């Protein structure tokens, strides 16, 4: 068994518990100064472990899910350790080849039980549960794609106003900074809501944040004040 987790104390504690249960455990150490994803993958593959417990985030090395497919292709059962309850997130790692998912708040008994199921060749989740999680991931991906497409309909000025709303600026503040009436800004906000298919400024801002959208960069001399 191989543990890949950037929290040294967590990995060490988990290793001790599993070794007490009779498992041979190796740790790959993402916290080392010279660690990189390629090196972590190479070391993990050399271990030829039947089970890999993989932290979904490896600190400064970022998202670890790129390691799932090559590890799974080597024959390892990859179980991803997550801190999120998001079903779409769980579904995404299953799509990439993970055999199962464990929340980091789970008990050590649950980790041991997972190791036992892998050892005994027992599925870690039912086909229906896996399918439902993967469907959640696909639905979230489609929704994000739709949001980005709707954001792409905004004019430059509408994008600037949405960007201002994202910083917490009010309609009145936007109007004053832009030297236009509040009625003009309200009309522009209504156009934004219509294009984004949202019913409130809060929902529009939430949609933009959901997909990591950023307003256009300022153009020198265009006559509009900037926010944020």
Answer yes or no: is 147 within a domain.
no
Rounded-to-integer distance, Cα 140 and Cα 87, Å: 9
- Out of 92, 111, 140, pick the residue that ends a domain: 140
Long-range contacts of 169-176 (CB under 8 A, 24+ apart): 169/227, 169/228, 173/227, 174/227
User: pLDDT by residue (tens digit) across 96-129?
Assistant: 999 999 998 899 899 999 999 999 999 999 999 9
Give the mean pLDDT of 3-7: 89
Residues 12, 43 share a domain: yes
For the chain, percent of residues with pLDDT exceeding 90: 74
Domain span at residue 133?
Answer: 2-140
Mean pLDDT of the chain: 91
Answer yes or no: is 121 within a domain.
yes
Asked if residue 228 lies in contact with residue 163, where contact means CB atoms within 8 angstroms, the answer is yes
Residues 117, 66 share a domain: yes
Beta-bridged to residue 101, according to DSSP, are 80
For 95-125, what is the HEC assignment? HCCCCEEEECCCCHHHHHHHHHHHHCCCCCC
Largest alpha-carbon pair distance within the chain? 73
Residues 156, 128 share a domain: no
Residues 115, 197 share a domain: no
Give the mean pLDDT of 154-168: 96
Residues 110, 84 share a domain: yes
Give the mean pLDDT of 120-139: 94
More confident residue, 34 or 191: 191
More confident residue, 65 or 192: 192
Residues 62, 161 share a domain: no
Q: How many domains does the chain have?
A: 2
Residues 96, 22 share a domain: yes
- Out of 85, 115, 140, pick the residue that ends a domain: 140
pLDDT at 130: 94
Residues 10, 73 share a domain: yes
User: pLDDT by residue (tens digit) across 28-81?
Assistant: 888 888 889 999 999 999 988 999 999 998 888 888 999 999 999 999 999 999
pLDDT at 228: 44
Residues 32, 135 share a domain: yes
Answer yes or no: is 226 within a domain.
no
pLDDT at 227: 53
Give the mean pLDDT of 175-204: 96
Predicted TM-score (pTM) of this structure: 0.76
Residues 160, 97 share a domain: no
**DSSP-H helix ranges across the chain:** 8-20, 37-47, 68-73, 87-95, 108-119, 127-151, 156-166, 171-178, 182-196, 201-210
Residues 190, 77 share a domain: no
């Amino acid at each position: 068994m191989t543990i890949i987790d950037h929290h040294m104390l967590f990995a060490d504690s988990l290793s001790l518990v599993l070794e007490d249960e009779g498992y041979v455990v190796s740790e790959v150490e993402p916290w080392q100064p010279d660690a990189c994803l390629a090196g972590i993958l190479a070391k993990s593959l050399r271990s030829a472990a039947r089970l890999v417990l993989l932290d979904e985030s490896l600190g400064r090395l970022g998202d670890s899910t790129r390691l799932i497919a090559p590890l799974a292709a080597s024959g390892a059962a990859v179980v991803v350790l997550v801190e999120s309850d998001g079903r779409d997130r769980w579904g995404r790692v299953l799509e990439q080849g993970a055999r199962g998912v464990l929340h980091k708040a789970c008990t050590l008994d649950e980790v041991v039980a997972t190791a036992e199921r892998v050892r005994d060749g027992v599925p870690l989740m039912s086909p229906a549960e896996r399918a439902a999680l993967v469907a959640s991931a696909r639905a979230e991906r489609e929704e994000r794609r739709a949001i980005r497409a709707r954001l792409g309909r905004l004019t430059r000025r509408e994008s600037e106003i949405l960007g201002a709303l994202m910083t917490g600026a009010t309609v009145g503040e936007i109007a004053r900074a832009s030297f236009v009436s509040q009625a003009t800004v309200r009309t522009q906000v209504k156009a934004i809501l219509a294009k984004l298919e949202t019913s409130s400024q809060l929902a529009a801002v939430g949609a933009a944040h959901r997909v990591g959208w950023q307003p256009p960069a300022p153009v020198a001399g265009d006559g509009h004040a900037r926010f944020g």
